[in-house]
Copies of this chain bind each other. A is one copy, B any other.
Amino acid sequence: MNAAAGNTLGTMMSSPLTIDVLVRRAASHGDTEIVSRTPDKTLVRTTWKKVAARATRLAHALVRAGVEPGDRIASLMWNHSEHVELYLGVPLAGAVLHTLNLRLHPDEIAYIAADAGDRMIIVDDVLLPLFEKIVAAGAKFERVFVVGAEPKGRERYEQLLESGEPTVLPTLHEDQALGTCYTSGTTGKPKGVVYTHRSTLLHSLVLALPDQLSLARRDTLMPVVPMFHVMAWGLPYGAAFVGCRLIMPGPFLDAANLVDLLVGERVTAAAGVPTLWIGIRDLVLALPEKPELQPGLRMIVGGSAAPLGLIRDFDTLGMPIVHAWGMTETSPVGLVSRVPPEADDLDYEAKLAIRAKQGLPPPLIEIDVRNEEGSVPHDDRTVGELVIRGPWVAGSYVGGHLPDRWTNDGFFRTEDVAKIDAMGIVQLTDRVTDLVKSGGEWISSQELENALMGHPAVKEAAVIGVQHEKWSERPIAIVVFREGQSATAEALRAYLAPSFAKFWLPDAFEIVESIPRTTTGKFLKTALRKTYKDYKL
């Protein structure tokens, strides 16, 4: 027997997955462009090589400014090359990038900045008015740096960079914090998630795979998803790995400016939420001539479900949609929907239906759908809660909040209700909190709502559960009629009856003038539940 026998160790290099590897790779992409739309609408062009050099300078400047490993550095910025510099340079200094969501209320941003313990902040000049409101709401930062025009009484980001003469950067380890994001928190206070160097590098490598978002050096990628929204879905890091061109829309997320970039910069992959894509569809359909899009352009959709009709419309436009699902807690890529080869013989409509599902997990991610009896069968029918685990899934929240969001076997509970088909493809049907549990059986409020909104008299309908002595919960429907129309409760129930089990039918129909909505347009069910808390059936 020899020295090798029984030795459980390998002979491979110790080579941690840390951001310095990615910064050096970004530098190797040389003159490949990063194009940013500035607030005055001009396009500014730089290169991966320059951005990598400036990111490195930023890291040195931060260390010279006294930033210590683990310190939080906030950004209040749109999508542009300086924000890419922060994505690379802040973690290169051992610090943690905290991308503040500028769409939240200033009070909420101030709360989040305090909860994260942000020490310094870098702000776009055009966002200074918002920034002053955040400060007025109580946020405190040791130093504030401004990108863009010469600010009054504030330090400039360029001055910070100028101070970045080479010094010793801290040694990074791969489980070290790299960035932090907060969930939008429709219930309770926002909760923080802290991504590591390892989780970020693994996530951005895997999202570039052909069956995932598919990124190659010859792509031109436009992340329309804001860089303050789950690290722009990891796309800037993926782009830094593969060395594709990067097009950054700055503050202009309207359809006209986006289509202008799609055409003018020959974009091959754009990524954003369905709402923005709807605007693009409507604009392109209204144009007198079809715009000259790059062949192979694909429109990556995430953030909320892509409706089947939208996927169909974009096929017609020659801009096929790639549908993905994720959460802040999953970095975010957790599922990607593509038609698998075994479905090649299905007709177009059946394939559309597959693409409108949330899809399959990428490598290294494991999912399960579970109800009280365990994992659900892959029958495209039985529902349960989607749970997920893998190297870029959160294992806890900052401060240890809500520990019951994790299962004993280490999966994160998404609170999304899902079913799985025979090909393993996941479809989300509800939020767990939107389900009604009647006599031990689940009733989907979303399915009832969608059906009710098919009735000619119904403009809007929301279904919630109210307490019931015998059945524990029973569904009731809150209905808004179309102008000048109405229907009786019996008529509405009769309309639903053919499509649902009898116990699913709402016990009552409450007619209202309007249903409260969230800022993103979803029904605000928490408000409805409060209103009907003591509803007597």
Contacts and interface: CB of A to CB of B under 8 A. Distances in A.
Interface string A186-202: 00000011111011010
A56 B396 CA distance: 31
A469 to B, nearest CB: 42
A424 B395 CA distance: 40
Contacts of A12: 175, 194-196, 198-199, 391-395
Contacts of A518: none
Interface in A91-114: 94, 114
B10 A70 contact: no
A484 interface: no
Interface string A57-98: 000000000001111100000000000000000000010000
Given A205-B363, A341-B217, A28 B177 contact: no
Contacts of A70: 5-8
Interface string A171-213: 0000111101000000000001111101101000110111100
Interface in A130-165: none
B192 A15 contact: no
A399 interface: yes
A341 B424 CA distance: 37
A342 B30 CA distance: 11
Given A208-B210, A364-B15, A71 B5 contact: yes
Contact of A393 (B15, B198, B241, B338): B15
Question: How many copies are assembled?
Answer: 2
A395 B13 contact: yes
A14 interface: yes
B216 A210 contact: yes
Contacts of A214: 210
Indicate the member of A208, A390, A392 with the most B CB atoms within 10 Å: A208
Indicate the member of A10, A116, A193 with the most B CB atoms within 10 Å: A10
A119 B177 contact: no
A178 B393 CA distance: 25
Indicate the member of A1, A119, A214 with the most B CB atoms within 10 Å: A1
Given A2-B115, A5-B70, A394 B209 contact: no
B393 A71 contact: no
Contacts of A398: 3-4, 11
Given A209-B242, A211-B216, 5 more contacts: A8-B177, A11-B193, A11-B398, A12-B196, A21-B364
21 contacts: A3-B117, A4-B194, A4-B398, A4-B399, A5-B70, A5-B71, A5-B72, A5-B116, A7-B70, A8-B177, A10-B178, A11-B193, A11-B398, A12-B395, A21-B366, A31-B342, A201-B364, A209-B242, A210-B216, A211-B242, A242-B363
